[in-house]
Every structure is written in structure tokens, then in C-alpha cells.
A and B are shown apart, each in its own frame.
Chain A
Amino acid sequence: MPHVGQDLVLRVGGDSAAGGIVATGEIFAYMAAWAGLEVYTTRTIPAEIKGGHVMYQMRAALEPLTAQGDELDVLLAYDEETFERYYKMLKPEGLLVFNSNDLQVETTGHRHRRIGVPMHDIAKSLNFARGYNMVAVGALVKLFDMDMDIAIQSVTKRLGHGRAAESLAVNLDALQKGFEYIEQAVGKEPPFHLPLPKEKRAERIIVSGNQALAMGVIASGCRFMAGYPITPASEIMEFLAAEFPHIGGTMIQAEDEIAACGMAVGGSFTGQRAMTATSGPGLALMIEMISHASMTETPLLVVDVQRVGPSTGMPTKVSQGDLRLACYGGNDDSPRFVVAATSVEDCFYIVPHAFNLTELYQAPVIVLSDQDMAVRVQTVAPFDVSKVKNESRLVWDPKAANGAGYERYVDTPNGVSAMSIPGQAGGQYTAEGLEHFPSGAPAFSAELHAKNMRKRARKLEAAVEYVEKNELWEEFGDPSSTIGILGWGSVIGPVREAVIDLATEGIKVHALFPKVIQPLPEHKLAEFLKGKQERLVTEMNFSGQFAEMLQAKYLIPFTHVNSYSGVPFLTSEIMAAIREAHARLK
């Protein structure tokens, strides 16, 4: 884990109407990644289609990164708003790079260094007014003492095809001009050195959480998806729309989330692995159908890329507010699994497990991701497909049945009964959303309903075995510590940094992040909680949804550590909460 001086945080900001802000950040991030650095990005997108403030941040280091970084080394401000918003986050020795055509910076009262670049003037001199962001990239390349060859390669790779290819030459000119401007204005010795790797490092890919998740879907053998556009989940649908046709899969853009979920349930009924992906408001609409899948015992995978609510909330900001809806939303008890991806990398590896849960136990599974994890690109080790083990659902075998009549919902010790697939002779049945006899025929007796409620619930108990056997959690820190920190999803990143950084201060912490929230790994949790005097639960929601679940289950208090403003936790916020817990122990 990098410490002060070993990493570099660059933030770029401006008005989205001007364009090129995200492109600047992205080109630079890809450049750093291709130069062999670990890269972790984060961005805010304005809710407006045109106009509105945009921010793109890149953190780069030699070691893997799990959080965005709390302070800035470099702030690239295209406009005044960016400067006003973020200059306080600049480290004292930090560097402000600004577009001196648009922004006059007061020279008094600020300690950091500043370099104005007349980006528009330079771009205009090339008859390429839009290219001012390329001028900025060129300036950064020199300021960071990076290799111009890598910069040229990266820009060519990004712009070198399609319509953009025509303007590649002029973009490269702008890049060169930005570089030269700094060379003359600052001199040969650049103020920053990226800690570039000395020898060749292990190969990395650079992906977003949504991309990783969609690749996990393909690796899981799923070939049927129905979706409805919603920020920030749409990318999953778009990704699969492009890739599925190559492999005989089908993606349907449905008329709404209810239809999308219904199509996925219908697809799964035919024996295929099927899924849908949405965000909070869409999940709310899907709940009736999810209950139906639970009742009819139809496998179904629903991805929820969480964003801030309630209602339409802040569509482009992060939250973990749908846990309660995911676990309990629905009429009456409708057992389903809830899985939480912890990182961009985990977005790939957790999906096959989620599919296995729904296929093995024939109950729906909701996979929780979040806006921040979904849209940020990050370097990770190339996915190892050989680690993916796809399990099959229990399919009715007419030969073994030996002429005995087929009963779809026959009771079994783990609640799972063999499923007949349309096309199988003799296995005809009606999947029934009403309470039903083992045959599937509607039935309303009190005894049968109670028995079936237990049958369906038993799957959750049975699935704990799968969760524990596959160790679907992350544990780190010092197991002997009396301070325990829990959480779920992407909060693990800043928590991990906080735990490591506090260890250097002599504060020991033990952390556990289950990747399956329903059912929880009971034995693992019991073992973790033993001897803990301080129990913190970190999550990005207002009421402490996971903390309340744990309190209700274990009947002991947990300290809620919440962030609900729509921006990811800072590592420093989590460190502060742990320090307080530590102080209480004394």
C-alpha cells in the first residue's frame, strides 16, 4: 500500500460543455497504466446532458491501489469553479496547473506552486481550438517527466481509429506544443517525477467495474440478458449487446424494468442462465417479479448498480442504499440471495458465484455493485478464467424417474427440487406463483403453505455451506485485535488503506467484509466477533442498513460509520472513526 510520496493524485476539472475533461483524465490514466503503474480513477459526472461541472481523478503508484486518495498532488483546472472547489485539497507542496486563458489565479495567500498554460491560445495557433485538452496532456507529460513516446502511443491507440483518426495528426501536434511550452516555461527540470517502474512488471488490464462484471457474466456461461437503460447500469447491457451475438447469446432492450426482469425469468425457465441489470429505481420495479422467481423457484440474476436515492435521487453519485430493499423487499418472505462485489476485480469473480448460488438453489440472486466502482477504470491483473467454476442446476432426469410422475416442487432436505426443462417429455408442469402442491397445481391449505415456506427458506440455510466452502469474504488486519471493522461492497477499499496505515501508528484493527450478505457466513462471523470490544460497520447509506441487520441478528451494538453524501468515503474519515473506537478502549 503506498504511503505519502509514493503515489500521485491528479485531479482534472472543468465545465462539461467545454468538453475534453474526462478525455484528458482518461488519456493520462491510460498512459500511466501502460507505463507500468497501478492506476485507480474516480470521476463525477454532471446530471446535466450538456454543461455542469465534471471531475476526473487519477491516482497512480507502483503498488496496487484500493482507494481514490484523499489529497491532491496536482490539480488541473480548466476554469474558476474547479479552482474554487478543490484548491484546498491540494497538498502544500502540490502543483496547480491552470488554463491561463480562462482563469487568473491570485498569487498571494497560496503556498502551492502554480503554472499557467495558455491552452486556448496554443490550440488556436494550430487552428484546432478543440485541441486545448491535448495541449494540457502534453504539458502534463512534461511536468511529470514522462516519456513522450508512450504519450504518442497512447493517444494514437485512443484516437487512431474511426472518425477520430483523421484528426490524429493535429492532436499529436497539440500534444507536442503543450510539452514544448512547459519545456520553455519551466525549464529542463520538471517539478514532478512519476515513480515509474524500473523493471518490467506483471501484466495489467485497465477496466471499469461494469466492464469487469459484464465479462464475469460471459465467463459464467450466461447467454441471455434483458435490460432497460438506467445510469449507472446501462453499460452492462451495452457491453453484452455487443458481445452476445458472437457467442449465440441474446440481449433484449426491454420496454421497462418489469419487462426486463420478466424476460430474464422467462429465459431462465427454459434452462438458460439469464440475467438483468439495473439501478435502484429499476430494482424497486423488479421486486414483484423477484418475489415471483422466489415463489416459482426459478433461478434469476439481478445486478443492482446502486446510486443515491430515494426516488430518482442523484443518478450519477454513489451510494449503498439498496441493501434493505435487496434483502427484504417484496410481499411476504421471499427468500433470495444477496451478493456484494467488493472491487472492480471482484466484479468479475463474484458473478460466477452469484450464478452458482441461483442455479444450485433455484432462488433469485441480487448482485450489488455501486456507481463509483461501476464507472471508474482501474488497473487489475488480467482475469483468470480458469478460476471460474460453473455449477449446473438440478435438472430432472426422466430416465432415473423410471416412469414415475414428475413433481416440480417435491420437498427435499435442502429445499431444492429437480427442475424439468421445456422440451423434456413427461416433465410438463406449470411454474406457479400461487401457493402450490408439489405438482405445481395451485393449493391453499395452511399446512402446505407453512411447509412450502420452510422449503423455500431452507435454501438460504443450505447455501451457507457454499458461501463458507468458497470463502466468499475478505478478511485482513490483525485477528487478535479487539477492534473489529465490518462492511460490504466497495467501502472495503478505503477501509483496507485505513487499517494498513493505522497499523503503522500502532493501532491494530481486524476487518471482515462478507461478499454474500444473504445468507451471511455464520461461522465465520461468529469467529470474527469473538473477543471484539469495538465493532464498527462502514457503509455508504444513511441509516446503517447492514449495521442494523447485524444488530438484529446478534443482539449486540455496532457503531455505525456512514457516508451518505454521494461521494466515496475518504480513507481519513475511516481512520478517524477507528481512532475514536481506539480511544474508547483506553
Chain B
Amino acid sequence: MTSIPLTSTVAPLLNQVKLKPNDYKSEVKPIWCPGCGDFGVLAAFYRALSDLGVSPEKAVIASGIGCSGRFPAFVESYGFHGVHGRALPLATGIKMANPDLMVAAIGGDGDAFSIGAGHLPHAARRNIDLTYIVMDNEIYGLTKGQASPTSPVGLSPKGAPYGEIKAAKSTPYGNSDAPINPIVMALAYGATYIARGFSSKPREMVELIKRGLTHKGFAFIQIYSPCVTFFDTYDHFKEKTAPLPADHNSRDKIAAFKMALDEEHLYLGEFYTEDRPSMAENARAIRERAGSNFSMDSLIERYKG
């Protein structure tokens, strides 16, 4: 991975404390099914915070609804469990109202790419300085196994092109809607850090999350996180995923598109990164341009004759 200068608004939040990954565990016990991929993501998140030395009180995690939405409660930090699909607006408000916080947003594939899909382009183009982790299990978990926007064509209760399916009751005749490609989407929208992980690859995941959290601007991380209960895709992802080629240049957007569109491999790693002013930096520049010459009296004065 190429290194980029660390000018993120989170830079001052690093190396503040020495805590073990377990110290970031809250008292709330995860409700996820044993074997759910989300456990791996959570463990990687604890380790990333520990490695970076983030004070628990300086971190805020916002989420939507779904199995993924429960994530914030399991982390010893501030959290906001929102409504379905709205993790990004909540996180945007949190970060812009107080840029001195380290903000992450968590979603599921339904949460992020269906109901909340309208927010992704805007978080990306604003380059809001936060990390969005989408735990993609290609199914709706919490509502018990309907097709999601990343489900493969052909998904039905009787079977699926890959993975063991125990639900998909919403597509009894087989899913005919083509799945969206989250990495291509994030590239097209202009996210400035784009990566893909797999919940069974803990070490790599930790690195990607750390890079995301320290990246200046909007970091988008898709993580394959299989749902053992409704659509078990562990074997599929083990077989199909591969690290991005060592010579992949993550500053080359066209190359990133090519890698993301590859149908042979589901590449893992850092697809793309770019240095662009963050939303908070732009807001600061606007304030400087506007100047601080203001008083309530002079504002009212303007409306006199």
C-alpha cells in the first residue's frame, strides 16, 4: 500500500491511550448467531482502536438497523443506533458538529445499498471525514432472509448459485435482479478511500480499518461477512476472494475499476485512495473566508431603514 500523508482530523486522536482490544468490549453481549461473520468484524474493530490508541470517549459509532445495526452497543465508545439506512446522515451530523471525534458508521448491505443508498454518493462527494464499514452478507439477516441488493441472481429458497441458502422467501421463483457492485459504486461516487475485506481474514481487516480510520476524508470499507443462518457463503468467499495483485496501484482509479469489475476474483485490499480536502477542512476554509465580523446588533441593524 502506498502511504499518504496523515492530515486527517483524527490525527490528534491517535496514541492517546494504551488499551487492549478487550478493553473496547462493552458490557452488552452481542446477540449475533454463533458463527456470524459480524463477530470477526467486531474483533478487528476492537484491535484497530487498540492499535491506534483511541480513547473510548473520543470515538462515536453510528449505525442503521439490521444485525449490523447492533454493532455500536458492543463497543466501549459513544454510539448511536439509528433507524434503517440512516447511519451516514447521523454520522455526518456528529462529525460536522464536533470534528474532534473519531466517527465510524456501520451498515449492512440492505441498510447501506437499499434503503440508505441515497446517502452514500453524498457522503463520498462531501468527503466527510469518517469511516463507513458495510458488513455485506448478501442477504437480509434481521428480517430473516429476504434477497438483498447484493444477493446473486437465482437466489431462491430451493437454492442459490453459491452458498447454502435457508431463506430468500421474497424471491420464491429465484432472484432476477442483478446485484450491485459496492466497490464500483464507491469509485463512481468519488469516495477517497475504498477497500474490501473478508471477516475470515482478521489481520488484513484490521489494517484496512486502521487505514480507513486514519484516512483524511470518506473511507468506504465493504467487508464480506457471511450470515450462517440464512445464507452461508463462507466457502464461496474463501474460494473466490484473493488479495489485490501486489502491483495494484491504489492511486489509479481506472485500475481500481478494472479490479472491482473482475468476475474471476473477488479482490480484497485497498482498491483506491486519494487525497482531497475533507468536509471539515472545507467548512473551516469557508469560515476563514467569511471572517468573524458578526454581532446580533449589526445583523438587526441591516433591516432598519
Q: Which of A206, A246, A292, A424 contacts B293 (CB 8 A)?
A: A246
Residues of chain B within 8 A (CB-CB) of A262 are: 82, 86, 88-90, 92-93
**Once the chains are docked, how many angstroms separate the CA of A515 from the CA of B127?**
41
Q: Which of A34, A224, A226, A430 contacts B305 (CB 8 A)?
A: A34
Q: Which of A100-108, A269-277, A557-565 contacts B (4 or more CB under 8 A)?
A: A269-277
Residues of chain B within 8 A (CB-CB) of A259 are: 86, 88-89, 92, 118-119, 122
Interface residues of B in 231-259 (CB under 8 A from A): none
- What are 27 of the A-B contact pairs (CB < 8 Å)? A224-B96, A245-B290, A247-B292, A252-B96, A255-B121, A256-B118, A259-B119, A262-B88, A263-B96, A264-B93, A266-B89, A266-B97, A267-B94, A268-B93, A269-B60, A269-B97, A271-B97, A422-B78, A425-B56, A428-B76, A430-B72, A430-B78, A430-B80, A432-B81, A433-B81, A439-B27, A442-B28
Return A420 CB to nearest CB of chain B, in Å: 8
Query: A267 and B82 in contact (CB under 8 A), knowing A215-B300, A423-B98, A430-B73?
Result: no
Residues of chain B within 8 A (CB-CB) of A441 are: 27-28, 73
Is the CB of B178 closer than 8 A to any CB of chain A?
no
Is the CB of A238 closer than 8 A to any CB of chain B?
no
Query: A258 and B283 in contact (CB under 8 A), knowing A246-B291, A292-B83?
Result: no
Is the CB of B79 closer than 8 A to any CB of chain A?
yes
Given contacts A266-B92, A433-B82, 5 further A-B contacts (CB under 8 A): A258-B86, A270-B98, A292-B82, A428-B26, A428-B57
A264 to B, closest residue via Cβ? B93
Q: Mark A418-461, 1 if CB is under 8 A from B, else 0.
A: 00101111111111111000011110000000000000000000
Number of residues in A with C-beta < 8 Å to the partner? 65
Residues of chain A within 8 A (CB-CB) of B292 are: 246-248
Contact in complex: B118, A205 (CB < 8 Å) = no
Q: Which of A218, A252, A431 contacts B81 (CB 8 A)?
A: A431
Instruction: Tally A-B pairs: CB < 8 A.
Output: 184
Residues of chain A within 8 A (CB-CB) of B221 are: none
B58 to A, closest residue via Cβ? A423
**Once the chains are docked, how many angstroms separate the CA of A245 from the CA of B119?**
24
**Once the chains are docked, how many angstroms separate the CA of A428 from the CA of B56?**
7
Q: Which of A256, A383, A423, A430 contacts B101 (CB 8 A)?
A: A423
Return A501 CB to nearest CB of chain B, in Å: 30
Return B163 CB to nearest CB of chain A, in Å: 29
Return A315 CB to nearest CB of chain B, in Å: 22
**Once the chains are docked, how many angstroms separate the CA of A439 from the CA of B73?**
10
Q: Mark A112-151, 1 if CB is under 8 A from B, else 0.
A: 0000000000000000000000000000000000000000
Return B278 CB to nearest CB of chain A, in Å: 13
**Once the chains are docked, how many angstroms separate the CA of A365 from the CA of B167?**
42
Q: Mark B17-39, 1 if CB is under 8 A from A, else 0.
A: 00000000011100100000000
Return A297 CB to nearest CB of chain B, in Å: 12
Return A167 CB to nearest CB of chain B, in Å: 23
Residues of chain A within 8 A (CB-CB) of B86 are: 258-259, 262, 289
Q: Which B residues have a C-beta under 8 Å from some C-beta of A?
A: 26-28, 31, 55-58, 60, 62, 65, 70, 72-73, 76-83, 86, 88-98, 100-101, 118-119, 121-122, 283, 286-287, 289-294, 296-297, 299-300, 303-305
Contact in complex: A422, B305 (CB < 8 Å) = no
Q: Which of B57, B65, B80 contacts A423 (CB 8 A)?
A: B57
Contact in complex: B93, A211 (CB < 8 Å) = no
Best-surrounded residue of B27, B97, B297, B299 (most CB of chain A within 10 A): B97
**Once the chains are docked, how many angstroms separate the CA of A224 from the CA of B119?**
19
Is the CB of A30 closer than 8 A to any CB of chain B?
yes
Q: Which of B31, B79, B93, B305 contacts A263 (CB 8 A)?
A: B93
Is the CB of A172 closer than 8 A to any CB of chain B?
no
Q: Which of A215, A266, A271 contacts B90 (CB 8 A)?
A: A266
Is the CB of A204 closer than 8 A to any CB of chain B?
yes
Q: Top 3 A-B pairs ranked by shortest CB distance?
A: A266-B93, A262-B89, A430-B79
**Once the chains are docked, how many angstroms separate the CA of A207 from the CA of B76?**
49
Residues of chain B within 8 A (CB-CB) of A33 are: 305
**Once the chains are docked, how many angstroms separate the CA of A419 from the CA of B89?**
21
**Once the chains are docked, how many angstroms separate the CA of A271 from the CA of B296?**
23
Contact in complex: A206, B290 (CB < 8 Å) = no
Residues of chain B within 8 A (CB-CB) of A205 are: 300, 303-304
Is the CB of A265 closer than 8 A to any CB of chain B?
yes
Residues of chain B within 8 A (CB-CB) of A250 are: 96-97, 283
Residues of chain B within 8 A (CB-CB) of A428 are: 26, 56-57, 76-79
Query: A218 and B303 in contact (CB under 8 A), knowing A274-B97, A423-B57, A440-B73?
Result: no
Contact in complex: A206, B90 (CB < 8 Å) = no
Query: A269 and B80 in contact (CB under 8 A), knowing A204-B304, A255-B119, A430-B73?
Result: yes
Contact in complex: A245, B286 (CB < 8 Å) = yes
Residues of chain B within 8 A (CB-CB) of A296 are: 80
**Once the chains are docked, how many angstroms separate the CA of A424 from the CA of B78?**
10
A249 to B, closest residue via Cβ? B287
B296 to A, closest residue via Cβ? A385
Contact in complex: A431, B79 (CB < 8 Å) = yes
**Once the chains are docked, how many angstroms separate the CA of A246 from the CA of B286?**
9
Is the CB of A475 closer than 8 A to any CB of chain B?
no
Contact in complex: A248, B287 (CB < 8 Å) = yes
Return A489 CB to nearest CB of chain B, in Å: 23
Q: Mark A399-435, 1 if CB is under 8 A from B, else 0.
A: 0000000000000000000001011111111111110
Return A90 CB to nearest CB of chain B, in Å: 29
Return B95 CB to nearest CB of chain A, in Å: 8
B119 to A, closest residue via Cβ? A259
Contact in complex: A429, B90 (CB < 8 Å) = no
Residues of chain B within 8 A (CB-CB) of A170 are: none
Query: A266 and B91 in contact (CB under 8 A), knowing A288-B83, A292-B83?
Result: yes
**Once the chains are docked, how many angstroms separate the CA of A399 from the CA of B121?**
43
A205 to B, closest residue via Cβ? B303
B294 to A, closest residue via Cβ? A246
Q: Which of A30, A272, A383 contacts B97 (CB 8 A)?
A: A272
A252 to B, closest residue via Cβ? B96
**Once the chains are docked, how many angstroms separate the CA of A426 from the CA of B57?**
7
**Once the chains are docked, how many angstroms separate the CA of A423 from the CA of B119?**
26
Is the CB of A48 closer than 8 A to any CB of chain B?
no
**Once the chains are docked, how many angstroms separate the CA of A44 from the CA of B149?**
46
Contact in complex: A422, B118 (CB < 8 Å) = no
**Once the chains are docked, how many angstroms separate the CA of A94 from the CA of B31?**
77
